[in-house]
Amino acid sequence: MIDPASRPGTPAQVQLGDDGRLRHFIDIEGLPKALLTEILDTADSFRGVQEAQVKKVPLLRGKTVANLFFENSTRTRATFELAAKRLSADVLNLDIKTSSTAKGETLLDTLQNLEAMQADAFVVRHSDSGAAHFIASQVTPRVAIINAGDGRHAHPTQAMLDMLTIRRHKGDFSRLRVAIVGDILHSRVARSQILALNTLGAAEVRVVAPRTLLPVDVEALGCRVFTRLSEGLAGADVVIALRLQKERMDGALLPSESEFYRHYGLTRDSLAWAHPEAIVMHPGPINRGVEIESAVADGPRSVILDQVTNGIAVRMAVLSMAVSGQTREREQRRQETQ
């Protein structure tokens, strides 16, 4: 477990350089609306790259991005790898299960060896909350740290690709009522989504779940809590379904998956409670017949595959901004010492 006492500074202090620009991307908390908007605008500009015949730009040519996934992932890892390659970076995928950490090497020793290889960014996914923050406090200042999900704490790039998807389909956040449905208790995505939606000025953020899957004092994040699906979806403009994270559950929090689906599953019938033009989202992986009906996941209101496409653009934006931020700071320090 990562020791919180070893993580100096607030998330905003750790993530931002002296010029207020991005140098790490660890958490949504504390980041200003202007910076989140800049990430979205930059990602929007990269959408054109993905639609071009040659899907590459030279922004990170000569840079090295190391993917450090201490937790299994398919979608997130693949989109980060594609994002780095489309920025023309060299990509190193570290297989943790066969790496030296599996043979007894400490995390810090692994990081120092990667630093010695002159890596410019670490994309980190870890089962411990606070892992990315800890790593950012330990590595040399020239390495940008991107959080690809840490424990139950945060998944900031997932939240931002969701925000890009919402903005592209709905425009202004200030009129939107967003309902997040499912396993809120174990979801790092939900926490990051709530913070991002509030920072970007959403009219109302709702969480909908049985009481056993709601964190204590979740309202403090800036959301309304509903335990009845009909009330939580009423008039919602955006509906985000979350999967049941059984791998993180301790004890029997639900009678059964079928019981959860009966009361909280997103189906054609339950979606009728939302606004007629509501869009449906899911961060994946989808469990069909558990949290969402196939007819909804594949239906005309679903923008789930758009989320995947937008994930590449957002991760290109974050990587380019953070690595550029580190380069600017390094150049500034060099000039100051001359």
Which of 28, 336, 319, 261 has its CA nearest to residue 162? 28
Does the annotation place 125 within a ligand binding site?
yes
Q: What letters, b where the CB count within 10 A reaches 16 and e where it falls short, cover 211-234?
A: eebbbeebeebebeebbebeebbe
d(CA 282, CA 69): 22
Residues 10, 30 contacting (CB under 8 angstroms) = yes
In degrees, to the nearest 5, what angle opens at C-alpha 286 toward C-alphas 225 and 179?
20
> Quick check: 78 and 311 in contact, CB under 8 A?
no
What letter would DSSP give residue 253? -
User: Cα(first)–Cα(last) distance of the chain, in Å?
Assistant: 42
Q: Is 170 annotated as a binding residue?
A: no
285: annotated binding-site residue? yes
| 55 annotated as ligand-binding | no
Strand extents, DSSP E, the chain: 64-69, 90-95, 121-126, 144-150, 177-181, 204-208, 224-226, 238-241, 279-281
Task: Using alpha carbons, select from 123, 93, 90, 128 the residue that is nearest to residue 7.
Answer: 128
DSSP state of 109: H
Give the separation between CA 319 and CA 108, rounded to whole angstroms.
Answer: 22
75 among annotated binding-site residues: yes
Residue 31: closest CA among 20, 42, 41 = 20
Task: Extract the runs of DSSP E, i.e. beta strands, from 23-150.
Answer: 64-69, 90-95, 121-126, 144-150
The identity of residue 194, as a single letter, is I
- By C-alpha distance, which of 58, 5, 64 is closest to 326? 64
Q: Is residue 243 a known part of a binding site?
A: yes
Whether 188 has a binding-site annotation, put simply, is yes
Known binder of ligand: residue 118? no
Distances (CA, A) of 283 to 76, 156, 232, 270, 298: 10, 12, 19, 19, 14
Q: Annotated binding site, which residues?
A: 75-76, 103, 125, 155, 158, 188, 243, 284-285
Detail the residues annotated as belonging to a binding site for L-aspartate: 103, 188, 243
Residue ranges for the known binding site for carbamoyl phosphate are: 75-76, 125, 155, 158, 284-285
